Amino acid sequence: MILTESIDVRWSDVSQVDAELLLFKHVIRSGKGYNRIHLISGSDFPLKSQDELHKMFYNDDREYLSFGKDVHLMYKRLKYYHFFVRCRRKWRIAELLRRILLVPQVLFVNRLRKFNLKFAYGQNWCSLTLPAVREIIGKMVELRPKLKYTTSADEVYKQMIIGSNDKFKIYNKPVSYACFSHGCASPKTLTMADYDNIMSSGCLFARKFDVNMDENVINKLISTFI
């Protein structure tokens, strides 16, 4: 599938949500009756062969979507207004101002009252059925305007929409293996040292890889799964 539209995506900004929605809409507009839609990053690698994936998902109507447990720690993503999010990684002053402007909101602001869906969060990468994708697109007509001035909404909106509808069967496990052992907000680049953890993760994909950092782990995964 070739996309003719592009979006200027910034980390933790609502533009990440817009990019995902654009992809979902292209799936629907294609007119093809896909049984399953995988949302992964450009630096993901499959941990199963195509035959294994097809066999695995044959007659499997569950939504592979992870849900976190510490929801109270994540309320602030939607509860308060987050300004300067698009610039927070480019300019330190922008992140400082964002944090400062959160302080006076603690006692007086609760944007969650405007949401009609149960709050939830998890990994943004997922594997969904076509009905789930249609549900997301339909609900986002109302939800998208409320996500303005939020942060990391890409890890919230799918969980809230799918998790609030009992008709969907959920398989609560991360689709893509990632390692955050280095304590950063973004996952570390995987190397041969991570190979055993990758293979024992039970995930469908793993991220992220860089051929310039460690080509050996990529070649070993290719020989295993391709």
Give 45-73 pLDDT, tens digit per residue: 999 988 999 999 988 999 999 999 888 88
* pLDDT score recorded for residue 24: 94
Question: Quick one: what percent of the chain has pLDDT higher than 90?
Answer: 73
* pLDDT score recorded for residue 33: 83
Q: Rounded to whole angstroms, how far apart are CA atoms 203 and 193?
A: 18
- Per-residue pLDDT at 144 exceeds 70: yes
Dihedral, 109, 9, 96, 82 alpha carbons, nearest 10:
0
Mean pLDDT of 1-6: 68
* pLDDT score recorded for residue 160: 96
Mean pLDDT of 123-128: 95
Q: What is the pTM of this model?
A: 0.90
- Per-residue pLDDT at 44 exceeds 70: yes
Q: Rounded to whole angstroms, how far apart are CA atoms 140 and 132?
A: 12
Residue 183 banded pLDDT, cuts 50, 70, 90: low
> Which of 11, 38, 17, 16 has its CA nearest to residue 27?
38
- Per-residue pLDDT at 2 exceeds 70: no
- Per-residue pLDDT at 181 exceeds 80: no
Mean pLDDT of 168-193: 87
Compute φ and ψ for 49, nearest 5 degrees. -75, 165
Mean pLDDT of the chain: 91
- Per-residue pLDDT at 98 exceeds 60: yes
Mean pLDDT of 104-130: 93
With 0-12 / 13-18 / 19 or more C-beta atoms within 10 angstroms meaning exposed / middle / buried, residue 111 is middle
Q: Rounded to whole angstroms, how far apart are CA atoms 9 and 13?
A: 7
Q: Which residue has the tokens 């927070």?
A: 88
C-beta neighbour count of 120 within 10 angstroms? 20
Q: Rounded to whole angstroms, how far apart are CA atoms 74 and 159?
A: 13
With 0-12 / 13-18 / 19 or more C-beta atoms within 10 angstroms meaning exposed / middle / buried, residue 80 is buried
Q: Take residue 169 and report the two structure tokens written for it.
A: 């069967």
CA max distance for the chain? 57
